[in-house]
């Protein structure tokens, strides 16, 4: 992975240039003692997101909010952890995922010795702290780490509790515990689930593991400073500042078969279905290796993602570790029977016709036909469309910071007058209103 330069994503500056600490002596000093600097290599006590997806890293009496910025006292954010229990650090923490029980959904649990504290909206809830046994019968005290594990990743909605090499798999619905020993995994001092993956933190390193089997694939450990925080001389430019909605300019947008939504702009893509973990921009080349100059249009068909750049079509398997299909790229003419610059393209769920927007024309191509040819070519009462997407809610055509909404592809095709443009909102694209 390469260092991404500042010319990317809609002028999003790297967080590095924006208030990340450089040296501990630059930071606020409390009682004459410098605050800890996570760039020096910290072994965290606990890491958890809050209900808004903001990440909290804990060490001793301090915490860090988000992926960059200086340390602060944890008692300023979670007052009672210190007041009630003069412990000076937390053992473990996790955010409860979607469960049927809305009383606990997105609440944060902290574990200190034999006690559990439950927070929502950064406020300790009535009745807490409790004995761990009261909320999580069968789970040991003095934990090392805890993490959510939703159904699909674990067999049932579960929480994994770590102590030494033992992992206590707690089934939320049945309140039963199964214990496994994963001796091959380092002893995790904190565990984080982020963007559907599980990470065990140990020392200043982390190791990604499969939450069901404990299996580790790939080259680990890796240095956490390269991925989970912004440090001088570390990292690959993973974290970008959130963009104002009024400055949005997309290149493409699509949703794959699994319902995962991707937005493309410049050299950057963002997953839109992961608001809960915060929105994060990544280099397009992390997933779609050949797209080094960005994309013009992207659409999804069956289990594949079609990426168009200039007169070339690249077809990738939709899975995250995307591989280019053999024999690609092919020309637009060869693959889709069209020529010229493509502004946007979309396909509606369970359909076989891709709609290609080129200037003021919208062209249909039947993907089941061989060879592929334009089956319908109609004028569009709009021009300079950047990106388009169709899902069960209808079709949206994006143009700068605005979009045009149609109930369906059929209404779009039939309409001779453009609907009123609407402003892109934070809820749609995760930009700042």
Ligand X SMILES: *[C@@H]1O[C@H](CO)[C@@H](O)[C@H](O)[C@H]1NC(C)=O
Q: Of the candidates 232, 225, 200, which has an alpha carbon nearest to the alpha carbon of residue 67?
A: 225
Contacts of 394 (CB under 8 A, 6+ apart): 405, 406, 407, 408, 411
Residues 433, 430: Cα–Cα separation, whole Å: 9
CA-nearest of 99, 93, 101, 102 to 132 is 93
Among 76, 131, 407, 433, binds ligand X (CB under 6 A): 76
Cα 251 to Cα 273: distance, rounded to the nearest angstrom: 18
Q: What is the DSSP string of 323-358?
A: -BPTT--EEHHHHHS--S---EEEE-TT--EEEEEE
Contact (CB, 8 A) for 117 and 110: yes
287 binds ligand X per the rule CB under 6 A: no
Q: Binder to ligand X among 24, 66, 138, 203 (CB under 6 A)? A: 203
Taking the least distance from each CB to ligand X, the nearer of 185 and 390 is 185
Binding mask 244-263 for ligand X (x = CB under 6 A): x--x----------------
137-176 binders of ligand X (CB under 6 A): none
Answer for which of 7, 217, 233, 302 binds ligand X (CB under 6 A) is 217
User: Nearer to ligand X by C-beta: 242 or 367?
Assistant: 242
> Tokens 């779609």 correspond to what residue?
288
- Residues 6 or more apart whose CB falls under 8 angstroms from that of 321 comprise 287
Q: Does 425 bind ligand X (CB under 6 A)?
A: no
Name beta bridge partners: 123. Answer: 120
Place of tokens 């208030």: 19
Task: Report, in Å, the least distance between residue 76 CB and ligand X.
Answer: 6
Query: Which residue is closest to ligand X by CB?
Result: 203
Compute the distance between CA of residue 208 and CA of residue 217 in angstroms, rounded to an integer. 8
Question: Using the rule CB under 6 A, is 35 a contact of ligand X?
Answer: no
Instruction: Give the shortest CB-264-to-ligand X separation in angstroms.
Output: 17
Contact segment (CB under 6 A) with ligand X among 20-28, 164-172, 196-204, 399-407 equals 196-204
State in angstroms the smallest separation of the CB of 81 from ligand X: 10
Where are any strands of DSSP class E within 82-217?
92-95, 108-112, 115-120, 123-124, 130-131, 145-149, 158-163, 166-171, 176-181, 190-194, 197-202, 205-209
Q: Is 289 near ligand X (CB under 6 A)?
A: yes
Task: Give 51 or 257: the residue with its C-beta nearer to ligand X.
Answer: 51
Residue 221 sits in the site that holds ligand X (CB under 6 A): yes
Query: How many residues belong to the site for ligand X (CB under 6 A)?
Result: 21
Residues 6+ apart with CB under 8 A from 123: none
Give the count of alpha carbons within 13 A of 82, CB side only: 12
Q: Shortest gap between Cβ of 155 and ligand X (angstroms)?
A: 15
Indicate the length of the chain as a whole number.
Answer: 433
**Is there binding between residue 205 and ligand X (CB under 6 A)?**
yes
The yes or no reply on residue 99 touching ligand X (CB under 6 A) is: no
Pick 202 or 267: Cβ nearer ligand X: 202
Stretch of 127-135, 173-181, 199-207, 366-374 lying at the interface with ligand X (CB under 6 A): 199-207
From 107-115, 209-217, 298-306, 332-340, span contacting ligand X (CB under 6 A): 209-217
- In terms of CB distance, is 126 or 417 closer to ligand X? 126
Determine if 75 is a binding residue for ligand X (CB under 6 A): yes
> 52 or 407: whose CB is closer to ligand X?
52
* Minimum CB–partner distance for residue 204 and ligand X (Å): 6
- Check binding of 34 to ligand X (CB under 6 A): no
Structure tokens that stand for 117 in this block: 């504290």
State the nearest-atom distance from the C-beta of 428 to ligand X, in Å.
Answer: 17
* 204 is an interface residue for ligand X by CB under 6 A: yes
When asked if residue 391 is in the footprint of ligand X (CB under 6 A), the reply is no
Q: Which whole-number Å values give the CA distances from 29 to 43, 174, 287, in the listed order?
A: 21, 48, 42
**Alpha carbon distance, N-terminus to C-terminus of the chain:** 32
Toward ligand X, which CB reaches closer, 29 or 173?
Answer: 29
Q: Which residues bind ligand X (CB under 6 A)?
A: 61, 73, 75-76, 79, 82, 121, 202-205, 210, 215, 217, 221, 244, 247, 289-290, 324, 329
């Amino acid at each position: 992975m390469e260092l991404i330069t500042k010319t990317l994503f809609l002028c999003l500056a790297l967080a590095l240039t924006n208030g990340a600490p450089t040296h501990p002596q630059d930071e606020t000093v409390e009682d004459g003692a410098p605050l800890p600097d996570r760039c020096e290599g910290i072994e965290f006590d606990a890491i958890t997101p809050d209900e808004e997806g903001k990440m909290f890293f804990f060490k001793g009496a301090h915490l860090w909010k988000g992926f960059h910025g200086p340390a602060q006292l944890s008692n300023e954010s979670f007052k009672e952890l210190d007041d009630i229990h003069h412990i000076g650090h937390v053992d473990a923490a996790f955010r409860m995922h979607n469960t049927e029980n809305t009383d606990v959904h997105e609440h944060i649990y902290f574990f200190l010795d034999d006690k559990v504290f439950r927070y929502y909206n950064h406020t300790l809830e009535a009745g807490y702290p409790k004995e761990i046994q009261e909320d999580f019968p069968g789970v040991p005290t003095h934990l090392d780490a805890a993490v959510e594990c939703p159904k699909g990743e674990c067999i049932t909605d579960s929480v994994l509790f770590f102590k030494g090499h033992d992992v206590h798999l707690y089934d939320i619905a049945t309140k039963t515990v199964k214990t496994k020993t994963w001796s091959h995994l380092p002893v995790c001092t904190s565990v984080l689930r982020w963007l559907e993956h599980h990470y065990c933190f140990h020392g200043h390193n982390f190791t990604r593991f499969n939450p069901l089997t404990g299996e580790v694939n790939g080259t680990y450990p890796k240095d956490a400073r390269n991925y989970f925080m912004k440090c001088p001389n570390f990292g690959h430019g993973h974290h970008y500042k959130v963009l104002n909605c009024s400055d949005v300019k997309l290149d493409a947008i699509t949703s794959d078969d699994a319902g995962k939504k991707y937005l493309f702009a410049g050299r950057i893509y963002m997953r839109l279905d992961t608001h809960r973990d915060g929105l994060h921009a990544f280099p397009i080349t992390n997933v779609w290796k050949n797209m080094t100059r960005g994309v013009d249009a992207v659409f999804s068909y069956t289990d594949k993602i079609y990426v168009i750049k200039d007169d070339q079509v690249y077809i990738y398997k939709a899975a995250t570790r995307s591989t280019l299909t053999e024999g690609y790229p092919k020309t637009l003419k060869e693959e889709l029977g069209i020529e010229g610059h493509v502004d946007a393209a979309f396909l509606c769920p369970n359909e076989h016709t891709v709609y290609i927007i080129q200037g003021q024309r919208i062209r249909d191509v039947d993907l089941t036909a061989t060879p592929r040819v334009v089956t319908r070519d109609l004028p569009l009462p709009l021009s300079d469309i950047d990106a388009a997407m169709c899902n069960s809610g209808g079709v949206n055509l994006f143009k700068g910071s605005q979009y045009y909404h149609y109930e369906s592809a059929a209404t779009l095709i039939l309409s001779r007058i453009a609907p009123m443009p609407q402003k892109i909102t934070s809820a749609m694209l995760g930009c700042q209103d």
